[in-house]
């Protein structure tokens, strides 16, 4: 296996699957632990600023599912894998950068920022790899 195919067939898909699984797991843990339990049904959950959480949570799970599907498609060399993966790596870039605003606004949450920065950096590197090496 040559160098370029190793990046596309191993690094990028593993990154995507790990990040997608991580995003889904973090939200699942928050929900299972009852983070929003006192707020009633799913559609009534609010964040600290009073905004509805359900659109955000659905977008996070959609991004997670797309990352996992894109990673698996790259592993299995599907014709649509690169295009699909680029879309969801873009979604990961957006959600990572957007979520960093929350960390910068509340400095005590810097621990949450480290995975977000890693997600953003990995997404950018993965996008460059896919664009240059395909």
Residue from 131, 109, 22 nearest 67 by CA: 22
Query: Over pLDDT 70: what percentage of the chain?
Result: 97
pLDDT tens per residue, range 6-38: 777 789 999 999 999 999 998 999 899 998 889
pLDDT digits (tens, 9 = 90+) for 31-69: 999 988 899 889 999 887 788 999 999 999 999 999 999
Q: Return the pLDDT at 4.
A: 57
Task: Specify the pLDDT at position 48.
Answer: 78
Q: Where are the domains of the chain?
A: 3-133
Please tell me the predicted confidence (pLDDT) of residue 1: 40
Check residue 3 and give its pLDDT. 55
Residue 58 has a CB neighbour count (10 Å cut-off) of: 11
Pick from 62, 69, 79, 78: nearest CA to 16: 69
Give the predicted TM-score (pTM) of the model: 0.89
- Give ∠ CA 34-61-74 in degrees, rounded to 5: 140
What is the per-residue pLDDT across 84-111, written as a single tens digit (0 to 9) for each?
999 999 999 999 998 888 888 888 878 8
């Amino acid at each position: 296996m040559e160098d370029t195919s190793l990046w596309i067939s191993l690094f990028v898909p593993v990154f995507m699957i790990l990040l997608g699984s991580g995003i889904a797991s973090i939200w699942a843990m928050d929900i299972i632990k009852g983070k929003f339990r006192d707020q009633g049904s799913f559609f009534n959950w609010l964040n600290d600023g009073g905004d509805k959480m359900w659109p955000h949570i659905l977008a996070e799970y959609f991004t997670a599912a797309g990352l996992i599907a894109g990673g698996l498609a790259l592993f299995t060399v599907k014709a649509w894998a690169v295009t699909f993966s680029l879309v969801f790596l873009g979604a990961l870039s957006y959600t990572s950068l957007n979520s960093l605003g929350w960390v910068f606004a509340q400095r005590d949450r810097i621990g949450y920022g480290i995975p977000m920065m890693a997600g953003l950096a990995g997404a950018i590197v993965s996008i460059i790899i896919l664009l240059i090496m395909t």
